[in-house]
Amino acid sequence: MKDRLRIALVGNPNTGKSTIFNALTGLNQKVGNFPGVTVDKKIGFSKLADSTNLEIVDLPGTYSLYPKSADETIVFEVLSDKNNPSYPDLVLIVADATNLKRNLLLYTQIADLGLPIIIALNMMDLALKSNMNIDVDGLAERLNVPVVPIAARKTQGIEELKKAIQYRSSQPFQTSTIDVELIAPDLIKSISTELNLDNPYVALQIAHQYQNISYLTKTQISQIEAFEKQYDFHSQKSQAAETIARYNFINDVLLDTVKYNSVALEENISNKIDHYLTHKIWGFVIFIAILFAIFQSIFAWSEYPMYLIETVFVWLAQIGHQYLPEGALTNLLIDGVLAGLSGVMVFIPQIALLFAFISVLEDTGYMSRVTFMMDRLMRKVGLNGKSVVPMIGGLACAVPSIMSTRTIENWKERIITIMVTPLVSCSARLPIYTLLISLVVPKRYVLGIINLQGLALMSLYVMSIVAAILVAWVMKGIIKSKAKGYFIMELPVYRMPRWNNVGITMFESVKTFVTQAGKVIIAVSIVLWVLASYGPSNRFEKIDAKYNSQSLQQRYSSTEINRLKASEKLESSYAGVLGKSIEPGIKPLGFDWKIGIALITSFAAREVFVGTMATLYSVDGDATKMESVREKMAGAKNTETGLPVFTVASAFSLMMFYAFAMQCMSTMAVVYRETKNIKWPLIQFTYMLVLAYVASFVVYQLLK
Amino acid sequence: MKLSQLKIGAIGIIKEFTDLEMSVKLMEMGCLPGETIKVERIAPFGDPIAISVSGYQLSLRKREASTIELI
C-alpha cells in the first residue's frame, strides 16, 4: 500500500492556486526539480483527519494543456506519464468562480486524461457579491465530479476541501466532455497502438506536442512524425476544432448552472482604478512614485534591524576574543567566518523587504498593468511588455527572473530579456551600494523629506534600468530572428495582497539567500582568511624579525608596531600578492590592491565583497578594537600616499564596476540552462565586463 | 470591421479570425466566434488594448486584434 496520497494542483494563473497551496500545507513546503527540466517543483505536505498523508505538487499555472511557454509543458508531462515520479493519484483543479467559462476549458482537457478529479471553486465570495448565481450541486452533478466552493483568501471551505479529498473516489467518474476520437480517428488509433496508450486524449495531445515531450524515445518521435504525414494531420486546425468543441460543451453546462444577474462588481471597481493607474500621465507618475516609495522605505525601515544585527555580531566577536583561547583557529573563526557572515547577514532586512514589495506588486495585479503600459516602449527596444516582470524581479535576483522569462513566447524577445536582466541592480549589489554610499554620501535630508543617501541609491537603480534598456536596443539590431512576437495577457481584477503569501515569500527568499549565499560566503571567507594570513616563502618571519629589532621598538609604541606589522604582513600575504598583481589594471579605476582582492573573491558572487572587506580589514589592524566594517573602511588609508582609500571618486567608480560587471556564477549557470548554448553566458559576461571597466574608468577620471 | 478599429467603449461580436495560428491562442483565452467584445482601454502609447471578453479582461496588441473580424 502507498503511504501517501499524491495530489497535483492545477489551474489557470490568477485563480488563487498558491493561496490554496499555502492554506493546505502552511510552511510545510520544499522546492525541488522535475527530472530533466528546469521547472521549479513546489511540493507541500499535509495530513487529513483520517491521518492520510498528503503530498501536494503545485504545477505551473496554465490556461490550457497546450503549452504556450516552456514552463507549461511540465503540466501535461506529469499528468500523462504514469512513470513520472510526480504522477498524481488525484488532480485538484482550482477554478475561479467569477470567470468560470475560461477556467473550465482546462478542466475539460484534464477530465479527458482520465484521472480522478476534485474541483475547488475558488472566489465564491466574490461571485456571490457580484450577483452571480452558481448552482454548485448542479455543476457537480453535470460533470459528475466533486465541486467544493471555497474562498481561499478568507480561508473558507478549506476544511470541506480536505473532507472531499478524504472521501475521494479512486476511479475517474467524470462524464466525458467531447468526442476526442472524432478529431483525428486514424492518427489517435495509430499513436495509441504505438505507445500502448489506453486514453485517446493522451494520444491526441502527444500528436500535438511530441517534439517537446521528454519521455518519448527518438524512434517513437520519428514514428509519430511518419503517422502525421500519412494521415495529413494539421496541428493548428485540429486544435482550433477541439477548442470550439470544448467551449460548446462548457456553454451547455453553464447555461443550466450559472445565472448572471449583472456586471461583476469587482470588475467595475477595477475599471475605475485602472482609469488612473494606466492613465497616459498619471499611470507613469504613479509607477515612478511607487518605485520611489519602495526604495525610500527599504532604506528607512531596514536601518534599525540592520543596526541590531551589526551590534550582535560585534558583541559576538568581542565575546569570542575574550573567552576563546588565542590562536590560529580562533582567528579563523572570528576574523574569517564570523566577520564574513556578519557582512552578509546584515542585509537580510533589506532583501526581505524588497521581496515583500515585489510580491505585493504581483499579488495585487498591478504588475500586469505595468506590463500593459510598457509593452509599446519595450517593443521599441526589442523587448516585450512581459520583460518588465523579469526586469523588476531583477531588482531582487536575476536567477529566478531569468527563469520567469519563459512566459515570453518569442525567442528573440526572450533572449534579449535574458541578456539584459543581470544589468538590473539585484539585491546582492544592495549591500555594496549601501556600504559605499554610507561611506561617502552624507546622511542629510534635502527639501526636508528626501534622504540624500536614498537618492543616491535610487539613482543607481534608475541607471541600471536605463543601461538595460539601451543594451537591449543595441542587441535588437544585432540578433536576427524571423518569428514575430505576440502579446496576449489576462488583466486580473485588482485584489488586496494576501499578507500570508507575502510573509511566506519573504521567509522563503531569506531562507534561500542565507543557505545559498551563506555557504559560498563561509567557504570564501575561510579561503580568504588563509590567503591573507599566510604568505609565500619566509616573508612573514622576515617581517616579524624586522619589527622585533631594537631600533623600531624604540621609535614606535607597541600598538603602532602591531598595526604596521599586520598591514605589512597582509601586503606580503598570498592575497596581497594576488591583489598587487592586478593592481596596475585597476589603478586607473581608483582601486588599490585590497579592493583588487575583493574584486577577485567576489568574482563568483557579488555579495562576497562586503564579507571580504570585513575579513581584510579585520586582519589588517588592531584585533582588540572591534569596529564595524563601515568604520574600518572609513578609516582605511592608502599605504603609499596616506590618503583615504574610499573617496567620492573611488567609491562611485567601485559602485559602477559592481553595477555593470557580471559577478554571479548562479546567473551564468541559469543563462546557460535556459539558452542551452554556452555562447550566450559568455557573450553576456564579456559585454558586461567591458561596460563595467569603461564606466568605472570614466566615473573615476571625472570625479577625482 | 476589425477589432483593432474599435474605439474605447465600443462593442462588437466576433465573426471569424484571419490568422489560424493566432486564432488558436485567442480561442483558448475565450475569444470565440459569437462572443461579445468591449474595448475597455488603450495603453498610454496607443498599443496594446484591453478588452472585456467571456467575463474577464484581456490585453492584446493591435496587430493581434487586427486578426479578429467582427460582425
DSSP A301-320: HHHHHHHHHHHHHHHHHHHH
List, for residues A297-308, the tens digit of each pLDDT value: 776 787 888 889
Mean pLDDT over each residue of chain A, to the nearest integer: 84
Contact present, A487 and A375 (Cβ < 8 Å)? yes
List, for residues A389-433, the tens digit of each pLDDT value: 788 878 877 877 787 787 787 888 899 999 999 999 887 888 889
Whole-angstrom Cα distance, residue A353 to residue A303?
12
Sign of CA dihedral A25, A29, A35, A38: positive
Total structural domains within chain B: 1
Q: Which residues of B touch A66 (CB under 8 A)?
A: 24, 28
End-to-end CA distance of chain A: 74
Contact present, A623 and A344 (Cβ < 8 Å)? no
Helix and strand numbers (H, E) in chain A are 33, 12
Asked if residue A431 has a cis previous peptide bond (ω within 30° of 0), the answer is no
Q: Which residues of A touch B60 (CB under 8 A)?
A: 486-489
Contact present, A238 and A252 (Cβ < 8 Å)? no
pLDDT category, A88, cuts 50, 70, 90?
very high
List, for residues A223-240, the tens digit of each pLDDT value: 999 999 999 999 999 999
Measured between CA atoms, the residue of chain A closest to residue B9 is: A271
Mean pLDDT of A262-286: 81
**pLDDT score of A675 more than 50:** yes
Mean pLDDT of A200-229: 91
Reduced to 3 states (helix: H, G, I; strand: E, B; else coil), residue A586 is helix
Q: Extract the C-alpha cell encoding A153.
A: 483568501
**What percentage of chain B has pLDDT greater than the value 90?**
77
Measured between CA atoms, the residue of chain A closest to residue B43 is: A373
Q: Give, in order, the Cα–Cα distances in Å from A401 to each of A393, A396, A604, A607, A682.
A: 5, 8, 19, 18, 19
List, for residues A612-650, the tens digit of each pLDDT value: 777 677 655 544 444 566 777 777 776 666 677 788 899
Q: How far, rounded to the nearest angstrom, does the alpha carbon of residue A52 sit from its chain's CA centroid?
A: 33
Phi-psi region of A446 (alpha: psi -120 to 50; beta: other; left: phi over 0): beta
Task: Compare CB distances from A376 to B27, B46, B60 and report the shortest one's residue.
Answer: B46
Mean pLDDT of A581-608: 83
> Cβ neighbours of residue A305 under 8 Å, at least 6 residues apart?
A348, A349
**pLDDT score of A177 more than 80:** yes
**What percentage of chain A has pLDDT greater than the value 90?**
29
Q: Is A220 on the interface with B (CB under 8 A)?
A: no
* CB atoms closer than 10 angstroms to residue A319: 11
Q: Which residues of A touch B52 (CB under 8 A)?
A: 267
**pLDDT score of B3 more than 80:** yes
Spell out the domain ranges in chain A: 1-259, 513-703
pLDDT category, A111, cuts 50, 70, 90?
very high
Q: Residue A146: what pLDDT?
A: 94
Stretch (H or E) spanning A7: strand A4-11
Mean pLDDT of A322-326: 84
User: In CATH, what number is assigned to the domain containing residue B40?
Assistant: 2.30.30.90
Q: Extract the C-alpha cell encoding A335.
A: 576574523
Q: Residue A385: what pLDDT?
A: 86
**pLDDT score of A496 more than 70:** yes
Walk across the sheet containing A4-11 and list its strands.
A29-33, A40-47, A53-58, A4-11, A90-96, A117-122, A147-149
CB contact under 8 A, A279 and B22: no
pLDDT category, A152, cuts 50, 70, 90?
confident
Mean pLDDT of A653-662: 93
Q: Give, in order, the Cα–Cα distances in Å from A470 to each of A278, A378, A383.
A: 24, 11, 11
**pLDDT score of A264 more than 70:** no
CB contact under 8 A, A372 and B40: no
What residues make up the domain containing B65?
3-70
Q: Residue A673: what pLDDT?
A: 75
Q: Which residues of A touch B62 (CB under 8 A)?
A: none
CB contact under 8 A, B43 and A243: no
Task: Compare CB distances from A240 to B23, B45, B63 and report the shortest one's residue.
Answer: B23
Residues A155-187: b if buried by 16+ CB within 10 A, e if exposed: eebbeebbebbeebeeebebeebbebbebbeeb
Of the two residues A634 and A164, the one the predictor is more confident about is A164
Stretch (H or E) spanning A31: strand A29-33
Q: Residue A35: what pLDDT?
A: 60
ipTM above 0.90, yes or no: yes
pLDDT category, A657, cuts 50, 70, 90?
very high
The radius of gyration of chain B's CA atoms, rounded to the nearest angstrom, is: 11
Instruction: Return binding residues of A.
Output: 11-18, 22-23, 25-26, 36-40, 58-61, 122-125
- A 58-77 → B contacts, CB under 8 A: 63-64, 66, 68
List, for residues A548-562, the tens digit of each pLDDT value: 777 777 777 776 677
pLDDT category, A467, cuts 50, 70, 90?
very high
List, for residues A244-257, the tens digit of each pLDDT value: 999 999 999 998 88
Q: Which CATH superfamily is domain A1-259 in?
A: P-loop containing nucleotide triphosphate hydrolases (3.40.50.300)
List, for residues A33-66, the tens digit of each pLDDT value: 666 555 667 888 998 888 889 999 999 889 999 9
CB contact under 8 A, A283 and B61: no
**What percentage of chain A has pLDDT greater than the value 70?**
92
Of the two residues A176 and A604, the one the predictor is more confident about is A176
Mean pLDDT of A129-141: 87
Whole-angstrom Cα distance, residue A64 to residue A104?
10
Task: Compare CB distances from B43 to A66, A271, A372 and report the shortest one's residue.
Answer: A372
**pLDDT score of A563 more than 80:** no
